[in-house]
Structure 1
Amino acid sequence: MFVIVICTIVEGLGNCSGINRAIKLPYRSINSSAYMLGKVVRSAAIVNDLNAKGIPLISSLEEIPKYKKASILIPTYGISECIIKKIDRLGYRILDNTCPRVKFVQRIVSDASKKGWILY
């Protein structure tokens, strides 16, 4: 059995190459019944601006009115697979804004977990 410890340090690195993509997707989603499931980017100014332009910030899928067709903006830091499955089950459209580097680490962790490795 292997033990893997994965640490990601993003704070202080400045803007990565995907920051423009991470900002453009939410702005393209204005007027499309989109919701931010958590802060889509770290910038409070951008999150507040998106909120002011009609993309509410929610912390739970239960905050969306029942029977409303909606798009869910996934934050750049990603969300768990069980929440992705719940979004699918509820019939919402996923606008995945997860950073490609975060997705890479998520794949490594998922593959290791499937092999029975213990992850911390």
Structure 2
Amino acid sequence: MRYSLLLCAVALSACSATTSPPPATQQPPAAPVVTPKPTKVAPPVTPQTNALSLKGLNPREVQDIAGEPSLVRRDNNVQVMLYETNSCVLEIVFYEPAPEAHFEAKHVNARTRSGESTNADKCFALVLASEQ
């Protein structure tokens, strides 16, 4: 009888043996997400970014549109305002038509940082973009 009990116990233990689950398949680590750096592109020229629209304005009106200039220089009846970006310099030349009269923008020029002439509208658009 002992043997029969022992055989029953062995048979029961064989029936209740647990099997281990199959090994989980491992996923390879996710590749890091690389976000490209945005490149600064000149905004499109619109009526609001037309550099010639600055002509006839006084210095305060220009500053209301383009913000604080990088440089302001005044010599007698001439005032020059410079706006600088990473790629260009916008120059606005104001003249005072008569003593005590308001300065008025007469010339708008643009150049690259190295001094070569460039498109004033695109430079003005970059100035406006850098102000935002």
Q: If the length of structure 1 is used for normalisation, what is the TM-score?
A: 0.24
Q: Larger % of strand: which?
A: 2
Larger radius of gyration: 2
Structure number with greater CO (CA < 8 Å, separation at least 6) is: 1
Higher helix share: 1
TM-score by length of 2: 0.22
